[in-house]
Structure 1
Amino acid sequence: MNNAQPSNVIPYPTQNPVTLTSNAASLSEIKNQVTLIQQVMREVMIEGEHYGTIPGCGDKKVLLKSGAEKLMLTFRLANDLDVQVLELPNFHREYRVKVTIYAPSGQRLGTGVGSCSTMESKYRFRTGPIENTGKIVPQEYWTHRESNPAKAQELLGGKGFSAKKVGTKYYIVKQGERVEHDNPADNYNTCLKMAKKRGLVDAALTSTAASDIFTQDLEEDDLQGAATGETYNSSSASGGASSSRGESGQQASQSSSSSSDQGGSSAEPISNDEIVGYLTVKNVKHEVGDDGTIYAYPEFSDSAARTWLKDQGFKWDAKNKRWAL
Structure 2
Amino acid sequence: MESIIENIDLELLQKNVKKISDLHSLIQNVLKKDYDYGIIPGTAKPTLLKPGAEKICMLFELTPKYEFLQNIEDYSNNFFSYSFKCSLYKNENVVSEGVGSCNSKEKRYRYLLVNNLSSNYSGESEKVQDKYGNIKYRIENIEIYNYINTILKMAKKRAFVDAILQVASLSEMFTQDIEDLTDLEADNNFKMNFGKYKGKTLEEIYKEDKSYLVWLKNNEKTDEKIKKACDNLLIEENAKDVNDGNKLYQ
TM-score range, shorter chain: 0.5 to 0.7
Deviation at 1:270, TM superposition (A): 3.3
Contact 2:80-2:148 within 8 A present in 1 as well? yes
Contact 2:115-2:135 within 8 A present in 1 as well? no
- 2:97 is aligned, of 86, 103, 111, to 111
Please give the alpha-carbon distance, in whole angstroms, between the structure 2 residues aligned to 1:161 and 1:210: 34
What do the CA deviations read for 1:88-112 (whole angstroms, capped 9, x no partner)?
A: 4513210101100112x22211210
Q: For residues 99-178 of structure 1, what are the structure 2 equivalents within 5 Å? A: 99-103=86-90, 105-130=91-116, 160=129, 174-175=135-136, 177-178=137-138
- 1:275 is aligned, of 202, 222, 232, to 202
Residue in structure 2 matched with residue 186 of structure 1 by the alignment:
146
Name stretches of at least 5 consecutive residues in structure 1 with no aligned partner: 1-18, 132-157, 164-171, 225-231, 240-267, 281-301, 309-325
Contact 2:100-2:157 within 8 A present in 1 as well? yes
Q: Which has the higher helix share?
A: 2
- Kindly tell me the number of residue pairs found equivalent between the two proteins: 194
Deviation at 1:23, TM superposition (A): 11
Please give the alpha-carbon distance, in whole angstroms, between the structure 1 residues aligned to 2:111 and 2:151: 14
SS at 1:31's partner residue?
helix
Contact 1:115-1:196 within 8 A present in 2 as well? yes
Please give the alpha-carbon distance, in whole angstroms, between the structure 2 residues aligned to 1:233 and 1:201: 18
Q: Residue 192 of structure 1 aligns to which amino acid in structure 2?
A: L
Please give the alpha-carbon distance, in whole angstroms, between the structure 1 residues aligned to 2:201 and 2:108: 23
Residue in structure 1 matched with residue 178 of structure 2 by the alignment:
219
What do the CA deviations read for 1:9-62 (whole angstroms, capped 9, x no partner)?
A: xxxxxxxxxx997999933234213312321222x211001112110223x221
Going from structure 1 to structure 2, the CA distance change for 1:115 and 1:80 (only over 3 Å counts) comes to same
Contact 1:269-1:278 within 8 A present in 2 as well? no
What do the CA deviations read for 1:58-81 (whole angstroms, capped 9, x no partner)?
A: 3x2211111111111111111110
Please give the alpha-carbon distance, in whole angstroms, between the structure 2 residues aligned to 1:194 and 1:55: 23
Contact 1:34-1:210 within 8 A present in 2 as well? no
Q: Residue 81 of structure 1 aligns to which amino acid in structure 2?
A: Y
- Cα-Cα RMSD: 3.9
Contact 1:101-1:207 within 8 A present in 2 as well? no
* TM-score for the superposition, normalised by structure 2: 0.63
Contact 1:111-1:207 within 8 A present in 2 as well? no
What do the CA deviations read for 1:121-150 (whole angstroms, capped 9, x no partner)?
A: 11111123438xxxxxxxxxxxxxxxxxxx
Going from structure 1 to structure 2, the CA distance change for 1:37 and 1:74 (only over 3 Å counts) comes to farther
Please give the alpha-carbon distance, in whole angstroms, between the structure 1 residues aligned to 2:186 and 2:226: 20
Deviation at 1:204, TM superposition (A): 0.5
* TM-score for the superposition, normalised by structure 1: 0.50
Deviation at 1:201, TM superposition (A): 0.5
Residue in structure 2 matched with residue 81 of structure 1 by the alignment:
66
Contact 1:99-1:199 within 8 A present in 2 as well? yes
SS at 1:26's partner residue?
helix
Going from structure 1 to structure 2, the CA distance change for 1:214 and 1:271 (only over 3 Å counts) comes to closer
Residue in structure 2 matched with residue 298 of structure 1 by the alignment:
none
Residue in structure 2 matched with residue 202 of structure 1 by the alignment:
162
Residue in structure 1 matched with residue 237 of structure 2 by the alignment:
none
Contact 2:88-2:163 within 8 A present in 1 as well? yes
Going from structure 1 to structure 2, the CA distance change for 1:92 and 1:41 (only over 3 Å counts) comes to same
Deviation at 1:235, TM superposition (A): 4.9
What do the CA deviations read for 1:206-250 (whole angstroms, capped 9, x no partner)?
A: 13321111111x32354x5xxxxxxx68356549xxxxxxxxxxx
Q: Which structure has the larger Rg? A: 1
Name stretches of at least 5 consecutive residues in structure 2 with no aligned partner: 118-126, 208-220, 228-250
Going from structure 1 to structure 2, the CA distance change for 1:185 and 1:306 (only over 3 Å counts) comes to closer
Q: Residue 98 of structure 2 aligns to which amino acid in structure 1?
A: G
Identity across matched positions, percent? 28
Contact 2:184-2:225 within 8 A present in 1 as well? no
